[in-house]
Every structure is written in C-alpha cells, then in structure tokens.
Chains A and B, each alone.
Chain A
Amino acid sequence: MVRTVSGQPGRIPGSEGPASPAGRRGLARGAVPGGRGARQRAAVFIRRHRLTPYALLLPSAVAIGLLLFWPTLQIGEFSLQNYGIPQVTGTAPTQWVGAANFTATLSDPEFWLSLRISVIFAAVVVPLTLVTGTLVGLLLNRLGPKMSTFVSSTAMLAWATPAVSASVIFIWLTDPDGGVVDWTLTKLPSWLGGGPHWAGFSWTNSALPVYTLLTVLVLWQGFPFVAVTVLAGLKTIPVELHESARVDGGGAWRIFWRVTYPLLKPIFLVLLLLSVIWDFGVFTQAYLLTGELGNRDEYNLGIYAYDRAFTMPPSYGVGSALALILTVILLIITVGYVRASVRQGAIH
C-alpha cells in the first residue's frame, strides 16, 4: 500500500468551526430532486429526522463494515477454531478448540524467531528512515526552488515505485550472477570492505544479508515521504526564528534541537508511529526477497502468519491466531497514533 498520512489536520481554511445552519440546510433539503410519491416521502422523512448525514455515510459504512470490520471480528472467531481443508470443503464440522491455536503458536520457536525479526527490523529501519528523511527534508529546504523540485521529484519516484517492482529491482541488483552490487563490492579496495570474496555472494540465502537488503529497500521507498512531510513542516516555521537563532550564535546542530525540533515535534511523533506500523508489518517486499515462502528462518511475523494459514496443509485457525496477534500489536501502536492525531487537532 502506498504510504500516506490521512489522519492529519488540514491547513485548509474554513475547515474549523461548527456547520452554519444555512450550509446544513443547503444540502439537507430534499435529497431527491423531482419525483413524487414514495421517493418524495422518503426524502421528507430523511430531512425531518435529520438523517441526511447518515444516508451519505451509508455506502461507506456498509463497505467498511462488511470488508474490514466484520472480517476483523472473524479473525477472532477463526483463531479459536480448528479450521483446515476438511472444514473448507465441508467434510468435517468446525471445531472450537479454545486457546489451542494460541498455545501451539506460543510454544513454536519459529513464532518467536519471526517476532524477533519483525521487532529488530522495525527498530533498525524506523530510525534510519526518520533520520535520512529529515536530513533530506532539511536539505530540500535550503536548496533553490528549481533544485528543490528536481530532488523531491526523484524522491517521489522512489516513493511511487510499486512494492513489487522495487523488490524485483533490488533482487536483480544483488543477484549473485551479474548483479551490479556484488561486482562493485569486488572492485572496492579492501579497506572499504571490498574484495574478491564478494564475487557470487548470495544476499537472499540467510537472514542477515536479506534483511540488510530489505533495510536499504524500505529506506529507499520510505525516506521520501518523511522528507516531503518534514519540508512541509519547515515551511511553516517563520524565517525570523532561524535567523535570530543564528545571530545568537547557534550552529546548525544547536538550531535544529533548540528551534526546529520542538516546533515540529508533533509531526515527528506522527511520522514515528506511522513508520513503526508500516515497517513492523512490511509484507510484499519481505515476501519476495525471502524467496516467496522459500526460507523459513527468514520469516517475519506477517510472512509466518501467511505461511501457517496457506501452505499445505493449510491451517486457517493457527493463521488467524497469528493474524490476531499481529493485529493487536499494530492496534496498540495505532492507538498511540490516533491519540497523537487527536492532540494535534486532526479530528474537528
């Protein structure tokens, strides 16, 4: 999924304050033009009971309810069941197995390995993305308008590259036969870590190299969003603040921590939480880089859940239990994100 922020407050004027009575009436009056009889009676009913907003929300509520809300509840339901091929084909009834799926999961060393990989990956990639993105954002702010547009356009291209394309590109770049990365590493002088031992080095055969690769890939796709968001934040800081700080004799480092960071703190908080959610749950890139369910010791939590659910023989119950664990972890972080957004005034 494309990385975006949706829940942030708009700077667009007029978005605050209560709805004026005229505006409310303006759209509420008779939702159905012309037409007599039943349609008009329905329109009158909707208007009299102030149902217009609910009628407008109905299509989205139905779609979200059926395809997002209800399935989330089903994850909970299936996680307590023994759900495999016989249950799907109807040759055996659904069996409630209580917490068996969870106890089986928690006693599986592969689960703990995948959880550890997900946690460590997020702990490494999130700070890298935030620092790189912030530095590029600060750079963009110092560049002239043309240069700034050029650099941010190239960054947006990396951001817009589909996860599938980005993954196959990075697999090709690091291919042991003909990949440009291995070739470059063999040519590097040895004091830079290069040397002939890099020839034919496989980046996807064990967890450390593959997650190093995934780190670079996710950083490449993730920093532009941080950079552009930080840049937008920097534009809101009055120039005088920075100037007076410089006159007072502050270096760039000092000015950032004394002036910029405190002012942009809410933005950094939101970026931090979003990055944690995205990088902890990274799937497509990790799935393709680890060889499409090829190496069990390279699974992160999402791939492990997917594998348990779908690899023959499928065990949708255990998969759902894992999906529930993943969802709960992400929801806990999301609560932090929602609270940060509310505090920032996103919901008005």
Chain B
Amino acid sequence: MRLRSRTLRRAGLNALGVLVALVTLFPILWMVSTAFKPAVEIYSLTPHPFPAHPTLGNFRSVIDGKVIGLPYWTFLKNSLFVTLVSVVASTMISLLAAIAVARFRFRFRTSYLIMLLIVQMLPQQAMVIVLFLDFRSLGLLDNLLGLILVYTAFSLPVTIWMLRNFVAAVPREMEEAAAIDGAGPMRIFWRIMLPLVAPGLVATSVFAFIFAWNEFIFALTFLGTDYAKYTLPIYVTYFYGRGTVDWGSIMAASTLFTIPVMIFFLIVQRRMTSGLVAGAVKG
C-alpha cells in the first residue's frame, strides 16, 4: 500500500514535469513548425501542430532576402561581427577588473563593486536617448562600431561580477607556490590564473554573447535606414508590420536567429546556470 502510493506520487510528479515542459516548449515548437509550413497550411482554418507538407520555401525567401533586397548573410555577418568583437573586448576588460577586485584590497574597492550593481540596473530605454545624441555628434550612428562600444560597456557590470567569483575561487596557494619557485607575475597569470578561470571565461562570454546577439533597443535606434548595417533582431522585425504580414517568413527568420543561441546555450547550460546561480545562494 505504502509502496503503491509512493509510485503513484512519483508518476504524478513526472506527469506534472512533462506538462510544464510541454507548455514551456509550445511557443518554440510552434515557431519552428510554422517556419516549415507552406502558406496554405499557415492560414488554414484549422491549425495543425506539424506541417503536413514541410517546405523550405520560407527559409529560402528569408535567405534570399527578397523582402528587404539584401541576403540573410549580410545581417548574419553584421550580428556575428558586432557580437564577437564585443564579447572578446568585454571578457578581456572584465578579467582585468575581476583580478583587481578579487585579488587586491584597495581604497574604493567596495564603492566600485556597489557602483557596478547600480549601473547594471540603468534602464536602456533611458540611456538610448542621450547615447543617440552623443553618437550622432561623434558620427557613430549607422555604424557597427557604435553598437560594439555600447554592448561592451553595458555587459561589463555583469561580466565583472561573474568573473570575480571565478577568480576568487582560484586557490591563492597555487600562485604563492609558483611565486616561491620564481615565476614572475605574467607567468603566474598565463600558467595558473588563465587555465583555472577558463570555465568562468566561457560562462562570461556566453552571457556577453547572448546580450549582444539579442540586443534590440540600441540597434533599432542607432541603425536608421541603412539596411546593409542591420543586425539580425532588426532584420527579424523588419518583416513585421510591412503591409501584408508573411508569418512563414517571420517564423523562418526568427528560427534562424533563435536556434543558434539555443544550441549554444544548451551546450554550456550547466556551467552557465551554475555560474549565474552560484550566486543567488549563500551556502
């Protein structure tokens, strides 16, 4: 009797888990399935969860870029360029800062950490107004360099905090032992610090990557009518609201934009969540 009630409870919990997973996955599944549907099925009176006659037509029209007059690769290249450069820049800058706050005691250290916490919360829709005016006078509008600067700076508060925990976790004894053996600070950095914080660098770059890859407000505001400079989020919304709405193409564009992040995210998920969540809990 006891055993049966336990099995029942387990089955109930598992069913609940599957239900949560299905409800959560539904919008994503619907996006992918619509992307493969021909127009007849998309606007059919009775929607079906899976395409009866899967087609690549929607993807083809997105990649050819018929709507906007430029191929998909232009925007993919822009997004990759902006994202990769800002990820490398913010990871390098935040590693230096993380070493400073994790390994040294100095005046203004606490103030600097608190400043990072506050600055991280500044609303982007407020900052975008002044940065638009500043970048306009600097000639950085319609310019991918402008986006790189913003993405690098805006991810720093979070990346520094994340890396700080990883740097602090490197045992000091290892550095001390190397120093006693006569290794210089640069050697200690390359041989001990860098390999040991590598997982932290991965987690940090994933965060910076997702932030820059997904960013919408600044790209929307800074990139005006020069389509050739658009990043992927702006390309995805370009379809939308232009006369007839072609949902097949929008979902195909959105799939091409979303799936890489998701795959990337699932690969590093465990490290990522432990890095992010490590924090939320005090042991």
* Interfacial residues, chain A to chain B (CB-CB below 8 A): 1-2, 4-15, 18-20, 22-31, 33, 50, 52-54, 56-57, 59-61, 63-64, 66-69, 71-72, 74-75, 78, 83, 88, 136, 139-140, 142-144, 147-148, 150-158, 160-166, 168-173, 175, 177-178, 180, 183, 220, 224, 228-229, 232-233, 235-236, 266-267, 270-271, 277, 281, 283-284, 287-288, 291-292, 302-303, 305-306, 309-310, 316, 319-320, 323-324, 326-327, 330-331, 333-335, 337-338, 341-342, 344-347
Determine if B282 and A11 form an interchain contact, defined as CB atoms under 8 angstroms apart: yes
Determine if A15 and B237 form an interchain contact, defined as CB atoms under 8 angstroms apart: no
Judge whether B265 is part of the interface by a CB distance below 8 angstroms.
yes
Determine if B154 and A5 form an interchain contact, defined as CB atoms under 8 angstroms apart: no
**How many residue pairs bridge A and B at CB < 8 Å?**
384
Q: Could you name 15 residue pairs across A and B whose Cβ atoms are closer than 8 Å? A: A1-B124, A5-B277, A7-B279, A12-B169, A13-B169, A60-B94, A68-B122, A157-B262, A161-B261, A164-B233, A164-B237, A283-B125, A283-B217, A309-B129, A333-B121
Which of B55-63, B65-73, B106-114 touches A? B106-114
Determine if B102 and A15 form an interchain contact, defined as CB atoms under 8 angstroms apart: yes
CB-CB under 8 A from B225, the residues of chain A are: none
CB-CB under 8 A from B175, the residues of chain A are: 22-23, 26-27
Residue of B nearest to A300 (CB): B125
Judge whether B139 is part of the interface by a CB distance below 8 angstroms.
no
Q: Chain B 2-37, CB within 8 Å of chain A: the 1/0 string?
A: 000000001001101110110011011011001000
Q: How far is the CA of A60 from the CA of B99 in the complex (A)?
A: 12
Determine if B185 and A26 form an interchain contact, defined as CB atoms under 8 angstroms apart: yes
Partner of A9, one of B99, B129, B158, B279: B279
Judge whether B42 is part of the interface by a CB distance below 8 angstroms.
yes
Measured CB to CB, the closest approach of chain B to A331, in angstroms, equals: 7
Determine if B179 and A22 form an interchain contact, defined as CB atoms under 8 angstroms apart: yes
Q: How far is the CA of A158 from the CA of B22 in the complex (A)?
A: 11
CB-CB under 8 A from B30, the residues of chain A are: 169, 172-173, 180
Determine if A160 and B14 form an interchain contact, defined as CB atoms under 8 angstroms apart: no
Determine if A183 and B46 form an interchain contact, defined as CB atoms under 8 angstroms apart: yes
Determine if A74 and B134 form an interchain contact, defined as CB atoms under 8 angstroms apart: yes
Determine if A15 and B43 form an interchain contact, defined as CB atoms under 8 angstroms apart: no
Determine if B162 and A6 form an interchain contact, defined as CB atoms under 8 angstroms apart: yes
Tell whether A50 pairs with B124 under 8 Å between CB atoms, given A33-B186, A229-B280, A319-B129.
Answer: no
Determine if B210 and A143 form an interchain contact, defined as CB atoms under 8 angstroms apart: no
Tell whether A327 pairs with B123 under 8 Å between CB atoms, given A23-B172, A316-B133.
Answer: yes
Tell whether A10 pairs with B157 under 8 Å between CB atoms, given A2-B211, A150-B17.
Answer: no
Judge whether B184 is part of the interface by a CB distance below 8 angstroms.
yes
Residue of B nearest to A187 (CB): B46
Residue of A nearest to B254 (CB): A165
Tell whether A162 pairs with B261 under 8 Å between CB atoms, given A12-B166, A156-B269.
Answer: yes
Partner of B277, one of A59, A229, A277: A229
Partner of B96, one of A56, A88, A324, A346: A56
Judge whether B160 is part of the interface by a CB distance below 8 angstroms.
yes
Q: How far is the CA of A196 from the CA of B44 in the complex (A)?
A: 17
Tell whether A168 pairs with B237 under 8 Å between CB atoms, given A156-B273, A157-B24, A161-B262.
Answer: yes
Measured CB to CB, the closest approach of chain A to B9, in angstroms, equals: 9
Residue of B nearest to A158 (CB): B24
Partner of A160, one of B133, B178, B210: B210
Partner of B153, one of A2, A67, A142, A283: A67
Determine if B130 and A78 form an interchain contact, defined as CB atoms under 8 angstroms apart: yes
Partner of B121, one of A78, A143, A172, A277: A277
Determine if A172 and B247 form an interchain contact, defined as CB atoms under 8 angstroms apart: yes
CB-CB under 8 A from A306, the residues of chain B are: 125, 128-129
Determine if B156 and A156 form an interchain contact, defined as CB atoms under 8 angstroms apart: no
Partner of A69, one of B31, B47, B119: B119
Measured CB to CB, the closest approach of chain A to B34, in angstroms, equals: 7
Partner of A19, one of B104, B114, B123, B213: B104
Tell whether A291 pairs with B241 under 8 Å between CB atoms, given A27-B103, A162-B213.
Answer: yes
Tell whether A26 pairs with B188 under 8 Å between CB atoms, given A236-B281, A331-B118, A345-B282.
Answer: yes
Determine if B282 and A1 form an interchain contact, defined as CB atoms under 8 angstroms apart: no
Determine if B216 and A54 form an interchain contact, defined as CB atoms under 8 angstroms apart: no
Q: How far is the CA of A61 from the CA of B94 in the complex (A)?
A: 10
Determine if B282 and A266 form an interchain contact, defined as CB atoms under 8 angstroms apart: yes
Determine if A25 and B117 form an interchain contact, defined as CB atoms under 8 angstroms apart: no
CB-CB under 8 A from A15, the residues of chain B are: 102, 165, 168-169
CB-CB under 8 A from B45, the residues of chain A are: 183
Determine if A323 and B129 form an interchain contact, defined as CB atoms under 8 angstroms apart: yes
Q: How far is the CA of A346 from the CA of B165 in the complex (A)?
A: 10
Q: How far is the CA of A81 from the CA of B111 in the complex (A)?
A: 31
Partner of A68, one of B97, B127, B168: B127
CB-CB under 8 A from A347, the residues of chain B are: 110, 113-114
CB-CB under 8 A from A71, the residues of chain B are: 127, 130-131, 134
Measured CB to CB, the closest approach of chain A to B29, in angstroms, equals: 10
Partner of B257, one of A20, A88, A164: A164
Judge whether B189 is part of the interface by a CB distance below 8 angstroms.
yes
Partner of A64, one of B129, B132, B153: B153
Q: How far is the CA of A158 from the CA of B24 in the complex (A)?
A: 7
Q: How far is the CA of A306 from the CA of B169 in the complex (A)?
A: 42
Q: How far is the CA of A14 from the CA of B7 in the complex (A)?
A: 43
- Given A168-B254, A333-B121, 12 more A-B residue pairs with CB atoms under 8 Å apart are A5-B279, A14-B171, A23-B103, A155-B21, A162-B258, A164-B236, A170-B27, A232-B281, A277-B121, A323-B125, A330-B123, A345-B282
